[in-house]
Amino acid sequence: MPDTVRIAVIGAGAVSDYHHVPGIRIDPRAELVAVCDPNQELLARRREEWSPKKATTDYEQIAADPDLDAVIIATPNFTHLPIALACIEGGKHVMCEKPLGLSFADAARMYRAARDRGVRHMTAFTYRFAPSLRYLKHLVRSGMLGEPRHFRSQRFLDLPETSWGWRQYRDKAGAGDLFDMTIHRIDFAQDLLGPISSVTGAVATFAPRDKLADGSACPPSDVDDWSSLIGLFQSGAVGVWEGSTLMKGYHNSGLGYERAEINGSEGSAAYELTDPNHIRIATGGLDMEKKPVPREFLVAPGSPRDPNKGDPSTVFRYDLVYEFVSAILENRDAVPGFDCGARAQAVADAVLESFDKRRWVDVQAPLN
Ligand SMILES: NC(=O)c1ccc[n+]([C@@H]2O[C@H](COP(=O)([O-])OP(=O)(O)OC[C@H]3O[C@@H](n4cnc5c(N)ncnc54)[C@H](O)[C@@H]3O)[C@@H](O)[C@H]2O)c1
């Protein structure tokens, strides 16, 4: 069995720089061999910054390159499907950013293609790797909170009201805050509490975003900047989610505010993105108090990452690459896979349908 995974990063923009390349750098089993981006200027810069052996503007070359084992797709949402299908066809293991596609149908197609070709597949649902969320999952599984009853998620960002680039157009992004932010929270809620069976949702758009940062005009946004849903889990638990990119007062150096909480029959516990190495917890009839996350939950098991290094709200994101590479080398499924990406997408699609039709919608996620 090889002991190194030769990786290409496709899409050399913000998230590759922020999460994926640092994740590759700290994993001695991972090698950044190639970078792909159609933006020549950015590609030249990344060649200097990241020192890959190869650089190309054409993802088809990556898909066909025998010197590569795996790809990380971090491109605008509408390009995920064709790039993933080409790389799967080329036999590459694929980690793809969320949302996997513009619809459940896209995401399910990606899942089936990867499954049928026998390659490893992973959806970059970053927040699953936050220490207090990993610990929250342990608390739920071990029964410490009793029977989970309520789930609650709030994700607030205070972003500028100027253009969001490709993210603000439905044909390129699929949806706004719902597909960009809330979809992560749909995913980790399903990871914690099982499938969501039906939803009622709403989205809204407040900022026209018809100007670039320099003041020049651009076509206005046609996606949401606020999203919400109430969901019923198959287990009988209920959940409420709210996300906004326009929540004044929640800038917090760009990190914003996030809290996700579970209330069970025996206790409650909450994760906060701004303090992910602590959990808020109440058991035994006591009030909520802040406690450190036990050491074994601070990094993914086996990860070479030092939990004491770096900003805790940032560094857990490097564990995605560790999981992807581990799955490839250990010949097992990566978690979360494309199946999870597709199931989250089915719920997000149901939110849009619910709001369009002004009624509850049952979630359909047939993957076979
Ligand atoms: N998991 C997370 O927490 C997280 C965070 C941020 C972004 N994302 C996701 O990552 C993806 C990228 O987001 P970003 O913020 O890095 O965007 P970005 O605009 O900064 O970068 C995207 C890059 O992809 C390149 N690109 C476009 N078409 C391409 C193609 N055909 N082949 C190769 N490269 C291509 C662009 O030139 C650009 O450099 C999106 O799907 C987004 O939703 C996820």
The H or E element containing residue 72 is: strand 70-73
With a 6 Å cutoff on the Cβ, whether 38 touches ligand 1 is yes
CA distance 137 to 274: 18
CA distance 281 to 271: 9
Summarize the confidence of residues 346-362 as an average pLDDT: 98
The pLDDT assigned to 2 comes to 74
CB 161 within 8 A of CB 205: no
CA distance 208 to 163: 9
Extract the tokens encoding 201: 């949702």
CA distance 194 to 181: 20
**Ligand 1 centroid vs 102 CA: distance in angstroms?**
14
| Distances, alpha carbon 340 to alpha carbons 4, 45, 123, 150, 240, in Å | 26, 34, 7, 21, 20
Summarize the confidence of residues 298-308 as an average pLDDT: 91
- Dump pLDDT digits (tens) for 210-220: 999 999 999 99
With a 6 Å cutoff on the Cβ, whether 77 touches ligand 1 is yes
With a cut of 70, say whether residue 1 has pLDDT above it: no
**Number of alpha carbons in the 13 Å side-chain half-sphere of residue 197:** 7
With a cut of 70, say whether residue 325 has pLDDT above it: yes
CB-based contacts of 133: which residues, under 8 Å, 6+ apart? Answer: 127, 188, 260, 271, 276
Instruction: Give residue 368's pLDDT band: very low, low, confident or very high (50, 70, 90).
Output: confident
Summarize the confidence of residues 77-105 as an average pLDDT: 98
**Ligand 1 centroid vs 291 CA: distance in angstroms?**
36
**Ligand 1 centroid vs 35 CA: distance in angstroms?**
13
The pLDDT assigned to 338 comes to 98
With a 6 Å cutoff on the Cβ, whether 283 touches ligand 1 is no
**Ligand 1 centroid vs 86 CA: distance in angstroms?**
17
With a 6 Å cutoff on the Cβ, whether 14 touches ligand 1 is yes
Summarize the confidence of residues 135-162 as an average pLDDT: 98
Where do the domains of the chain lie, and which CATH numbers do they carry?
5-126 (3.40.50.720), 127-312+345-355 (3.30.360.10)
**Ligand 1 centroid vs 12 CA: distance in angstroms?**
7
CB 325 within 8 A of CB 29: yes
With a cut of 90, say whether residue 244 has pLDDT above it: yes
CB 23 within 8 A of CB 318: yes
Residue whose CA is at the smallest distance from ligand 1 atom 33: 37
SS3 of residue 92 by DSSP = coil
Q: What angle do CA 310, 313, 314 make, to 5 degrees?
A: 60
* Average pLDDT of the residues of the chain: 97
Q: How far apart are the first and last CA of the chain?
A: 30
With a 6 Å cutoff on the Cβ, whether 130 touches ligand 1 is no
The pLDDT assigned to 339 comes to 98
Nearest to 153 by CA among 247, 78, 240: 240
Nearest to 158 by CA among 258, 244, 273, 260: 244
With a cut of 70, say whether residue 324 has pLDDT above it: yes
